[in-house]
Chains A and B, each alone.
Chain A
């Protein structure tokens, strides 16, 4: 079965999960996975527990926030760029209002009573 090549960016504390970490603050591993792989498969491949990641992007579209991860089953495609951030990162609502989201994320936000107008969804 053909594989898919992924352009993965790991930031902050997650950088150490990348094998080619040139800088401690980020790494950019090139990952090949079997076709049909999901984001959960990528995390397993990298060894990143999903609870250690916060803000996540797939091709520049927001796919997860701290405490809100509707993207584990997202099917990845050849050439996808995935950006994974540690839990210290942030993207305040006012600076992401109207930015692109994955379909799963848009649905998850829409299902929230407050339409997703928060910075974090993590339980204390």
Chain B
């Protein structure tokens, strides 16, 4: 395995052996360790001293299901703290099978506004990966839907693409890193935290990977890996949420729209209500029925990346049955829908398509539009004008640039107090005043408000978690800590977080995930080691944040949530600061 370093100051690369201390790391554990060890905490995120690290997970590149995950890390232009965002794409597998444990992009060219692309291949003669650099100016300033086919045409082999869009070129704090899906769409994003602009700041527009002839992932104990895979696959294939034609495969992640809306926890019109009267029209059930009506047949969802059993990615179709966009995820659907008072799936899909084309994070974009609506820039519910604002972001107009700065930046520009951010990252689609547990995780996550930070716990510690009253603030804080630590392990394993749905209920599935990792690494982790390994990752992230100036004073939800009751339950966020401080205070 190799650490591949690309230095964009002179477009050179070097290969290093993996240090012993990094041997058992992967995915988020590895990218966060690099950021912790190598990025000066006070570096400007878009300056020469920030680094962008790509790392496949521990089992990425193996036949493990849902394991084509790539973790991307760096200092965030949005939060000013550490950032890890991950995505599913064949690109992840290509890196892993070329035995690239991590790709570190560093340095910065002297020329501003010039772009290159890197081409990573396996060099059979030296039995090592190699990198070549080409000018990429011809791809700059363009929509990714226009550019991706040109890159696929340019290379004769089977390639995978990582890169940034216009949003990255403009230096937006809400730009993501794009990866290809299985149909060559620019639709899989490591979306949050502005990492697209970090890539662009290096003058690197695309990283094309081609793994022909590569040796694949080495196993220490293949039999143990196979045993683990069997257990995990069995859990995924039988659980109601993850099985074929189950919740996610049928309705996609937007299955949650009607649920959160009924619960009164579906943030509406910039977090001013917990219920949206138009929610049912934009739900996963409506996407399924809408496609059925327009296509004349049932359409189940597809895999975002190779080898996934869950297959939750949807495609929305136009009235004439042609494809409009993929994928209308729950959070995108909500951010550009209910949170903006918009109930048209066609207009939501158009905004998702534009975000994909420009390289924008759909969540941050939607929450920013809602803040602009609150400011009176356009009315709530006016989806045509909302589409116009997203287009301004793509054009880089002065208004577009304000919006590109993100939700908090836009809120400041208009002097608003109802700005739903933590550590300058906007909240996703779960209202902390109605769902207090997620509020604790939003407040304390090292990433800023992040719905993927606390996903599950090991079955073994369910009983420990249950010792504290899960309804008390202290009990909720203890659970959030356990959830965040175990999630950091899954993010390191290379698995999609959605395996969490099955393995929380089916203990053998959790065991299987850990055995898969042991089979690759030769470790002897047990299920309850997952939280310990994950906690180490959190400690590094937390240490980086504190050195960057993000202390526990920032582990808070925005003040308005403490004094504005949220309809329909009319609750405020009343978790005491002491409980929030205990999440990391007792890590």
Q: Which residue of B lies closest to A14 (CB)?
A: B285
Q: Which residue of B lies closest to A12 (CB)?
A: B285
**A74 nearest CB across to chain B (Å):** 15
Are A87 and B437 within 8 A (Cβ)?
A: no
- Residue from B251, B258, B293, B435 within 8 A of A97 (CB atoms): B435
Chain B 408-436, CB-CB to A under 8 Å as 1, else 0, gives: 00000000000000000000001000111
Are A60 and B436 within 8 A (Cβ)?
A: no
Q: Which residue of B lies closest to A120 (CB)?
A: B240
Are A90 and B568 within 8 A (Cβ)?
A: no
| Interface positions of B from 232 to 289, Cβ below 8 Å from A | 238-241, 246-248, 250-251, 255-256, 258-260, 262-265, 274-275, 280-281, 283, 285-286, 288-289
**A92 nearest CB across to chain B (Å):** 6
Are B436 and A90 within 8 A (Cβ)?
A: no
Are A120 and B470 within 8 A (Cβ)?
A: no
Specify which chain B residues have a CB less than 8 angstroms from the CB of A11 in the assembled complex. Answer: 258, 280, 283, 285
Q: Given A11-B283, A98-B476, A99-B265, are A85 and B455 neighbors across the interface (CB < 8 Å)? A: no
Are A23 and B286 within 8 A (Cβ)?
A: yes
Specify which chain A residues have a CB less than 8 angstroms from the CB of B290 in the assembled complex. Answer: 25
Are B456 and A113 within 8 A (Cβ)?
A: no
- Residue from B285, B288, B437 within 8 A of A94 (CB atoms): B437
Are B501 and A90 within 8 A (Cβ)?
A: yes
Main secondary structure of the interface of A (DSSP, over half): loop
CA distance A24 to B569 in the complex (A): 29
| Interface positions of A from 93 to 115, Cβ below 8 Å from B | 93-100, 106, 113-115
- Residue from B247, B288, B466, B569 within 8 A of A117 (CB atoms): B466
| Interface positions of A from 37 to 85, Cβ below 8 Å from B | 55, 57, 59-60, 62, 66, 83, 85
Are A116 and B470 within 8 A (Cβ)?
A: yes
Are B263 and A96 within 8 A (Cβ)?
A: yes
Are A120 and B241 within 8 A (Cβ)?
A: yes
CA distance A26 to B289 in the complex (A): 10
| B479 interface residue per 8 A CB criterion | yes
- Residue from B241, B289, B451 within 8 A of A23 (CB atoms): B289
CA distance A82 to B250 in the complex (A): 24
Specify which chain B residues have a CB less than 8 angstroms from the CB of A55 in the assembled complex. Answer: 259
**A118 nearest CB across to chain B (Å):** 5
| B465 interface residue per 8 A CB criterion | yes
Q: Given A9-B262, A117-B470, are A89 and B251 neighbors across the interface (CB < 8 Å)? A: yes
- Residue from B255, B437, B439, B455 within 8 A of A89 (CB atoms): B255
Specify which chain B residues have a CB less than 8 angstroms from the CB of A116 in the assembled complex. Answer: 470
Q: Given A88-B247, A95-B438, are A117 and B501 neighbors across the interface (CB < 8 Å)? A: no
| A30 interface residue per 8 A CB criterion | no
Are A90 and B434 within 8 A (Cβ)?
A: no
Main secondary structure of the interface of B (DSSP, over half): helix
Are B456 and A94 within 8 A (Cβ)?
A: yes
CA distance A66 to B501 in the complex (A): 14
Q: Which residue of A lies closest to B470 (CB)?
A: A115
Are A85 and B258 within 8 A (Cβ)?
A: yes
Specify which chain A residues have a CB less than 8 angstroms from the CB of B239 in the assembled complex. Answer: 119-120
Specify which chain B residues have a CB less than 8 angstroms from the CB of A83 in the assembled complex. Answer: 258, 262
| B462 interface residue per 8 A CB criterion | yes
| B504 interface residue per 8 A CB criterion | yes
**A12 nearest CB across to chain B (Å):** 5
Q: Which residue of B lies closest to A95 (CB)?
A: B430
CA distance A123 to B449 in the complex (A): 35
Q: Which residue of B lies closest to A60 (CB)?
A: B264
Specify which chain B residues have a CB less than 8 angstroms from the CB of A98 in the assembled complex. Answer: 435-440, 471, 476
Are B240 and A122 within 8 A (Cβ)?
A: yes
CA distance A65 to B89 in the complex (A): 34
**Most chain B beta-carbon neighbours within 10 Å: one of A24, A62, A85, A93:** A93
Specify which chain B residues have a CB less than 8 angstroms from the CB of A60 in the assembled complex. Answer: 262-264, 274-275, 568-569
Specify which chain A residues have a CB less than 8 angstroms from the CB of B256 in the assembled complex. Answer: 90-91, 95
Q: Which residue of A lies closest to B457 (CB)?
A: A117
Q: Given A60-B568, A94-B438, A94-B454, are A25 and B463 neighbors across the interface (CB < 8 Å)? A: no
Q: Given A60-B568, A89-B255, A115-B465, are A100 and B483 neighbors across the interface (CB < 8 Å)? A: no
Q: Which residue of A lies closest to B241 (CB)?
A: A90
Specify which chain A residues have a CB less than 8 angstroms from the CB of B439 in the assembled complex. Answer: 98
Specify which chain A residues have a CB less than 8 angstroms from the CB of B568 in the assembled complex. Answer: 59-60
Are B280 and A117 within 8 A (Cβ)?
A: no
Are B283 and A25 within 8 A (Cβ)?
A: yes
Are B455 and A94 within 8 A (Cβ)?
A: yes
Chain B 346-390, CB-CB to A under 8 Å as 1, else 0, gives: 000000000000000000000000000000000000000000000
Q: Which residue of B lies closest to A59 (CB)?
A: B568
Specify which chain B residues have a CB less than 8 angstroms from the CB of A15 in the assembled complex. Answer: 285
**A54 nearest CB across to chain B (Å):** 8
Specify which chain A residues have a CB less than 8 angstroms from the CB of B454 in the assembled complex. Answer: 94
Are B280 and A25 within 8 A (Cβ)?
A: yes
**Most chain B beta-carbon neighbours within 10 Å: one of A26, A85, A119:** A119
**A86 nearest CB across to chain B (Å):** 8
Are B286 and A25 within 8 A (Cβ)?
A: yes
| B132 interface residue per 8 A CB criterion | no
Chain B 471-483, CB-CB to A under 8 Å as 1, else 0, gives: 1000010010001
**A37 nearest CB across to chain B (Å):** 20
Specify which chain B residues have a CB less than 8 angstroms from the CB of A9 in the assembled complex. Answer: 258, 262, 280
- Residue from B240, B283, B501 within 8 A of A87 (CB atoms): B240
| B38 interface residue per 8 A CB criterion | no
CA distance A87 to B285 in the complex (A): 12
Are A25 and B289 within 8 A (Cβ)?
A: yes
| B505 interface residue per 8 A CB criterion | yes
22 contacts between A and B (CB under 8 A): A9-B258, A9-B280, A12-B251, A24-B292, A25-B285, A57-B263, A59-B568, A88-B255, A90-B240, A90-B247, A90-B501, A91-B263, A92-B241, A94-B441, A94-B454, A94-B456, A95-B435, A98-B439, A100-B263, A114-B462, A117-B466, A122-B240
> Top 6 closest A-B pairs, CB basis?
A97-B437, A98-B436, A83-B262, A25-B285, A98-B437, A60-B264
Known: A25-B289, A100-B263. 20 other contacts (CB 8 A): A15-B285, A57-B262, A59-B568, A60-B263, A60-B569, A83-B262, A85-B259, A85-B262, A88-B240, A89-B247, A92-B501, A93-B456, A98-B438, A98-B440, A113-B463, A115-B466, A117-B457, A117-B462, A118-B504, A119-B239
Instruction: Please report A residues at the B interface, Cβ cutoff 8 Å.
Output: 9, 11-12, 15, 23-26, 28, 55, 57, 59-60, 62, 66, 83, 85, 87-100, 106, 113-120, 122, 124
